[in-house]
C-alpha cells in the first residue's frame, strides 16, 4: 500500500497535552490505546539497504512480531510518501518467504546475498494511538510516540507525532494537524526514527543540524496543466521554507536567513504569477501576507549579514592603521543579535504552524479547485507550456517598462527594476524544465549577471540607511562614524562603474533570445 503520513517533532510536554486533548471540531476520535513497541532494524555494516532506499524492520507490538519493508519515499516538509509492506512473522528474525511482492523480495535477496547483515539498531517506543474520522470520509491514525533509539553503546530520546492518512482526502490530514497543533510548538521532521538509528550506528550526531537549502529543480511534465504545475511549485517553495526554518533555529549561519527569505519570496512570486486564477482567494491572500511579514523579519537579519560580509569585510585590509573596525563590528553584533532573536521568535511562534500546514494542504490537496469559477478553471486547465509562455512574457514586459530611460533612473527606480528582475528569475526557474537547456542558457546567464550587478548597487545604496537605522545611538561614536564613512566612500567610488556595467548587461539581456517565444 502507499503510505501518506505527516511527521512532527515536538517536546515531551506537547505529547502529554495531546494525549489529553479533546477531538477538534469536525472530527470524531476512537478510544485511545497504548502500545509498547520494540522495533529492530536490519542492514549491513555499510548500510546496503539504506543506500538502496529500503528499510527492513521487525517489530513486536505487545502481542506478536511483524515484518515491515519500506521502499522509496523520504521526508519533505514532514510529509512522507513510500511503499510499505507489513506482514506477521514467527519471531524477531526477518522472514523473506512471507513477502508477497516478488520484485521487492528479489531485490532484498540480491542486495544482501553474500554479505554479513544483522541487527544495526533498535527503538523502544511507547505509542499512544487514536483514530480520527471526519464527514469527508477520512480516517487518520494519530500516533504519539515517546521513547529512544539505541545501539549497543548509544541511545537518543524520541518525541514525535505521526499522522497517517489511512483513507480519504489529504486535506483532512492537514486540517487535523492544524487543529491539533494550533497553539503548540512544532517542527516538521526532516528525519525519522530509522534515520536517527542509522546515525547512532555510524557514530554521528543523532540529529544533524539542518543545512541551508537552496531552491531545487522543479520537474514539470508536458502533460501538466497550469493547476498541477502550481502545486508542484508550491511544494518546492514549502520544502525550502521548512528546511531553512530548521536551519535558522539550529545554526548561526548567514545562509539560513538568506535562503529562508528566498523561499518566501519565491512563494510570493508564485502567488503573483497565478493571481488571475485565484481572484479574491482569502486563503492565498492570508498566506501571502504571512510570507511577506516573515520575509521582512528574515530580511532584517539578512541585511546585516550582507553589510558585514559584502560591504565591510572587503574593505578591512584597506583601512588606515589609525582606523579600527572593532567598534563598528561590536555595534553591528548587538543589532544582529536583536534581529536574530526576533526572527527565531517568529519561527517558533505556534501561529506559524497554521501558515505551513495551510501551505502544505494547498500544495498536496485538489480541494482548492472546488470553488473556482468557469474562467478561473479554464486558466488553470491551460497546458503548462501555454501558461508559462504567458507568465514569462508578462515578467519580461514588466522589466522592460521599469528599464525605460535606463541611464536616468533614480535609486528607487533602480531598486524597482532589481525586484522585477528577481521576479523574472524566479519565473524562469519555476518553468525551466519545460525548455531545452541550450535554449535558455544564454538568457539565464545574462539575467544572473544583471542581477548580481543590481544586487551590489542595492547593497551599497542601503548600507548607510541600514547602519543608521539598526545601530544603537550610544555606539554611533566618532570612531564608528569614521569607519562607516571610509567603507561607504570606498564602495561609492565603485558604483559609477557598476552602474555602467549594469546598463551594458541590460542591453545584453535585451539582445538575448527570448527562448519562451
CB atoms within 10 A of CB 285: 13
Using DSSP's 3-state secondary structure scheme, residue 231 falls into helix
Contact 463, 491 (CB under 8 A): yes
Angle between helices 478-511 and 326-348 (to 10 degrees): 60
pLDDT tens figures, 291-306? 999 999 999 999 889 8
Confidence of residue 468 (pLDDT cuts 50, 70, 90): low
Q: Classify residue 369 by its DSSP letter.
A: G
Length of the chain in terms of residues written: 517
Domains annotated for the chain, with CATH where assigned, are 2-201 (2.40.320.10), 226-511 (1.40.20.10)
The DSSP result for 182-220, as a single string, is TTS--EE-SS-HHHHHHHHHTTS-SSPPPPP--------
Confidence of residue 1 (pLDDT cuts 50, 70, 90): very low
Contact 487, 316 (CB under 8 A): no
Contact 305, 337 (CB under 8 A): no
Is the predicted pLDDT of residue 207 greater than 80, yes or no?
Answer: no
pLDDT tens figures, 100-131? 889 989 999 999 999 999 999 999 999 999 99
389 vs 490: which has the higher pLDDT = 389
Mean pLDDT score, 170-195: 84
pTM of the entire predicted model: 0.85
The DSSP result for 439-497, as a single string, is HHHHHHHHHHHHHHHHHHHHHHHHHHHHHHHHS-GGG--HHHHHHHHHHHHHHHHHHHH
Instruction: Tell me how far apart the alpha carbons of residues 93 and 77 are, in angstroms, rounded to a whole number.
Output: 33
Q: What is the CA radius of gyration of the chain?
A: 27
Amino acid at each position: 500500500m502507499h503510505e501518506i503520513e505527516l511527521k512532527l517533532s515536538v517536546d515531551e510536554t506537547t505529547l502529554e497535552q495531546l494525549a489529553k486533548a479533546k477531538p477538534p471540531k469536525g472530527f470524531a476520535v476512537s478510544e485511545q490505546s497504548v502500545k509498547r513497541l520494540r522495533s529492530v532494524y536490519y542492514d549491513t555494516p555499510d548500510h546496503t539497504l539504506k543506500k538502496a532506499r529500503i528499510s527492513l524492520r521487525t517489530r513486536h507490538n505487545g502481542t506478536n512480531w511483524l515484518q515491515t519493508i519500506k521502499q522509496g519515499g523520504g521526508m519533505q516538509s514532514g510529509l512522507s510518501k513510500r511503499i510499505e509492506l507489513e506482514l506477521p512473522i514467527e519471531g524477531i528474525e526477518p522472514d523473506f518467504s512471507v513477502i508477497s511482492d516478488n520484485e521487492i523480495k528479489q531485490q532484498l535477496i540480491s542486495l544482501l546475498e553474500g554479505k554479513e547483515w544483522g541487527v544495526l539498531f533498535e527503538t523502544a517506543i511507547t505509542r499512544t494511538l487514536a483514530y480520527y474520522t471526519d464527514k469527508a470520509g477520512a480516517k487518520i491514525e494519530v500516533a504519539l510516540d515517546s521513547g529512544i533509539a539505541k545501539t549497543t553503546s548509544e541511545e537518543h530520546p524520541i518525541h514525535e507525532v505521526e499522522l497517517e492518512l489511512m483513507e480519504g482526502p489529504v486535506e483532512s490530514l492537514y486540517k487535523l494537524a492544524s487543529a491539533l497543533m494550533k497553539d503548540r510548538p512544532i517542527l516538521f521532521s526532516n528525519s525519522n526514527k530509522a534515520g536517527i538509528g542509522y546515525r547512532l550506528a555510524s557514530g554521528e550526531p543523532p540529529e544533524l543540524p539542518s543545512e541551508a537549502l537552496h531552491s531545487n529543480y522543479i520537474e514539470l511534465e508536458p502533460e501538466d496543466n497550469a493547476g498541477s504545475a502550481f502545486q508542484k511549485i508550491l511544494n518546492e517553495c514549502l520544502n525550502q521554507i521548512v528546511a531553512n526554518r530548521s536551519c535558522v533555529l539550529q545554526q548561526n549561519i548567514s545562509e539560513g536567513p538568506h535562503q529562508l527569505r528566498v523561499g518566501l519570496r519565491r512563494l510570493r512570486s508564485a502567488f503573483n504569477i497565478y493571481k488571475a486564477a485565484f481572484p479574491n482567494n482569502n486563503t492565498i491572500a492570508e498566506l501571502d501576507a504571512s510570507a511577506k511579514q516573515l520575509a521582512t523579519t528574515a530580511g532584517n537579519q539578512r541585511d546585516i549579514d550582507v553589510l558585514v560580509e559584502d560591504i565591510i569585510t572587503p574593505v578591512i585590509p584597506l583601512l588606515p592603521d589609525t582606523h579600527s573596525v572593532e567598534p563598528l563590528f561590536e555595534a553591528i553584533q548587538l543589532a544582529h543579535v536583536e534581529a536574530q532573536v526576533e526572527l527565531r521568535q517568529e519561527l517558533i511562534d505556534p501561529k506559524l504552524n497554521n501558515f505551513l500546514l495551510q501551505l502544505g494542504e494547498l500544495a498536496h490537496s485538489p480541494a482548492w479547485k472546488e470553488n473556482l469559477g468557469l474562467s478561473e478553471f479554464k486558466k488553470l486547465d491551460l497546458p503548462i507550456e501555454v501558461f508559462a509562455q504567458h507568465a514569462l512574457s508578462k515578467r519580461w514586459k514588466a522589466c522592460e517598462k521599469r528599464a525605460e530611460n535606463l541611464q536616468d533612473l533614480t535609486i528607487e527606480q533602480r531598486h524597482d527594476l532589481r525586484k522585477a528582475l528577481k521576479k523574472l528569475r524566479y519565473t524562469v526557474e519555476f518553468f525551466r524544465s519545460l525548455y531545452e537547456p541550450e535554449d535558455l542558457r544564454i538568457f539565464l546567464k545574462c539575467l544572473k549577471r544583471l542581477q548580481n550587478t543590481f544586487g551590489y548597487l542595492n547593497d551599497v545604496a542601503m548600507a548607510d540607511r541600514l547602519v543608521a537605522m539598526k545601530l544603537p545611538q550610544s555606539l554611533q561614536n566618532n570612531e564608528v562614524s569614521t569607519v562607516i564613512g571610509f567603507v561607504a566612500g570606498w564602495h561609492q567610488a565603485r558604483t559609477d562603474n557598476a552602474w555602467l556595467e549594469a546598463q551594458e548587461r541590460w542591453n545584453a539581456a535585451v539582445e538575448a533570445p527570448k527562448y519562451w517565444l
